Amino acid sequence: AFYFILLSQIAMSSKYASVDFEIFGNVQGVCFRMYTEDQAKKLGVTGWVKNTRQGTVVGQVQGPPDKVNEMKHWLRNVGSPSSRIDRAEFSNERDISKLEIRGFGTRY
C-alpha cells in the first residue's frame, strides 16, 4: 500500500522539472554545446546552452524529471568527446506544470 501511495504522490506532483547548470573544465572549443544540443534532442528535453566569458558552459534543462536526471548525468559525466569535465553545478531545481522553453538551442 505504501508503494502505491508513493506512486500516486509522484503522479499528482508537477509533470516537469527544470534545472540550471554550469559546467567547469575544458568545455569550450570542444563542441560541448553542439553535443549538449544533440543529447537534449535525443532525450526530448528543452532548454538552452551557452559559453560564458569565464570559460564555463551554462544553460537550463526542462522536461520529465527522469529525462532531466539523465541529462544531468550526461552533463556531469559524459559531455563531448574532447571535453574534460571537472565539475558540474546544478541550481534552481524546481517542479513546473508546463514547459517554459520550446526546443533546445545554443544561445550567444
Q: Where are the domains of the chain?
A: 15-106
* Confidence bin at 11 (pLDDT 50/70/90): low
Give the C-alpha separation, 106 to 108, whole Å.
Answer: 7
Q: Please identify which residue in the block is written with the cell numbers 509522484.
A: 10
Handedness of CA 64, 67, 69, 71 (dihedral sign): negative
**Closest of 88, 62, 92, 86 to residue 74, by C-alpha:** 88
**Active site members:** 33, 51
Q: What is the DSSP string of 36-56?
A: HHHHHHHHT-EEEEEE-TTS-
Reported as a single tens digit per residue, the pLDDT across 65-92 is 999 999 999 999 999 999 999 999 999 9
For domain 15-106, the CATH class is alpha beta
Reported as a single tens digit per residue, the pLDDT across 16-55 is 999 999 999 999 999 999 999 999 999 999 999 999 999 9
pTM: 0.86
pLDDT at 12 over 80: no
